[in-house]
Structure 1
Amino acid sequence: MSRAHSAPAPEPPAPEQPAPEPPAPEQPARGRPRSEAVERAIVEGVIKLLDDGVPLAELSIERIARTAGVGKATIYRRWPGKEELFVDVIRQAEPPDPELPGTSMRDDLVALLEQLRQRALLARSSTLLHNVFAQMKSSPKVWKAYHGTVVEPRRRITREVLRRGQADGELRADLDIDLLDDCFIGPMLLRTVMRLDADLPEGLSETIVDTLLAGLRPVSSPGA
């Protein structure tokens, strides 16, 4: 006799899954505002010491940290040394780098020279900037840091504008770019660095650029 097959036992019902919890609200980012506040305190500490007449040579990281109310390690995490910190302080006190119009080589050159003119006017009216620039000349390490992070990048921008002008036919192709850079920037630097009593009127940037371009543009061939 064959045995009757018994019906399989029903599977137990699956346990109910708990409803997913709603995602936690995003927390506001921490650290960045605090970091900016710390950096601002350090920069303001340097400015206070300079305003108090402390020479650059006597501004140690320890003294800056004490004035800013931070530890020395906090400063070194942001700047490798006091020379780079000084450069940042100076850059924040200067006018921002200009946004180039991009409409022509001439307009871009005017914008670059105008930034130099505005910077010079600010330095003449600011005892802080005037004293810092004077002291930088006697501090090779600070001047090297300023030249490498501020001056040279600005010169690269000017040279690129001049190369673009040559490519677009706004400038003679046989001219040396490095020499042209000196020719355009030189007159403004002469008035702002060596002739401190020279006027820096509005329109000076346009006058310099247009005077030079009058003799540097390509000459059309007869009958062209």
Structure 2
Amino acid sequence: MPPTDQQNRPHEHRRGRPRSEAVERSIVEAVVKLLEEGAPLAAVSIERVARTAGVGKATIYRRWKGKEELFIDVLKSIEPLDPELPGTSARDDLVAMLESLRLRGLAKRSSALLYNVFAQMQNYPELWRAYHDTVVEARRRRGLEIVSRGMARGEIRSDLAPELVNDLFVGPMLLRTVLRPEAQLDDDLAAQVVDTVLEGLTPPGDRGRRS
């Protein structure tokens, strides 16, 4: 599947000629094709990708610094998109964020491609580190921003570290999607987690006003 959102498109900062989305799409699709055919990550070289996509290696290197950066964009293209946040309240933004985690968990269960790629990444330290630094860390920062805004607005008690509060929200969903892959991921799980945690994080003076 090609990228369909600005967030999932290849990085904007690359050097070289003006970007051709059609060429980039063909390169990403070539990687996906090789992986779907069973090629292990270690065997998907830039040369092989170029041959499959019908482009020169230089065309790829003008857009990606190396294989790890290319793989990150491929993963972004096949994972569910990060949602736009409603921005109406900390509660609504947190539900949207956790719902995206739930959907990614479901996708990894239903997609053999995603499952195999993530399983192999554990044995590919460079790619795992690049994925963590580029994707996971960006999502963590997004959660911290939501929590910090909620604290500033008085929606979340502010006597705790934002990092801890963010972990309290994200932890239950990660437990079910990563550590307990057999666990239920009900449609309303994100709202259940957020509302339950918020009950203990609401500033004392506001607890009686929560519905």
| Range into which the TM-score falls when normalised by the shorter chain | 0.7 to 0.9
**Shift of residue 36, structure 1, vs aligned partner:** 1.3
Match of 1:121 among 106, 115, 119: 106
Q: Secondary structure at the match of 2:204?
A: coil
**Shift of residue 46, structure 1, vs aligned partner:** 0.5
Number of the residue aligned with 1:170: 155
**Shift of residue 150, structure 1, vs aligned partner:** 0.9
**Shift of residue 97, structure 1, vs aligned partner:** 1.3
Does residue 190 of the first structure (1) align with residue 175 of the second (2)? yes
1:88-115 Cα distance to aligned partner (Å, 9 max, x none): 0010111111111111000000000001
**Identity over aligned residues, as a percent?**
64
Which has the larger helix fraction? 2
Q: CA RMSD for the aligned pairs?
A: 1.4
Match of 1:112 among 97, 100, 106: 97
**Shift of residue 86, structure 1, vs aligned partner:** 0.5
For the pair shown, the structure with the greater C-alpha radius of gyration is 1
Number of the residue aligned with 1:38: 23
C-alpha distance in 1 between matches for 2:172 and 2:59 = 42
Q: TM-score, normalised by structure 1?
A: 0.82
Counterpart residue type for residue 90 of structure 2: M
**Shift of residue 194, structure 1, vs aligned partner:** 1.1
C-alpha distance in 2 between matches for 1:154 and 1:160 = 10
C-alpha distance in 1 between matches for 2:32 and 2:123 = 19
C-alpha distance in 1 between matches for 2:183 and 2:53 = 38
Does residue 64 of the first structure (1) align with residue 49 of the second (2)? yes
Q: Secondary structure at the match of 1:220?
A: helix
The count of aligned residue pairs is 190
Does residue 219 of the first structure (1) align with residue 209 of the second (2)? no
Number of the residue aligned with 1:199: 184
Number of the residue aligned with 2:62: 77
Q: Please, which runs of 5 or more residues in structure 2 have no aligned partner?
A: 1-16, 207-211
Q: Moved runs in structure 1, 4+ residues, more than 4 A?
A: none
**Shift of residue 140, structure 1, vs aligned partner:** 1.1
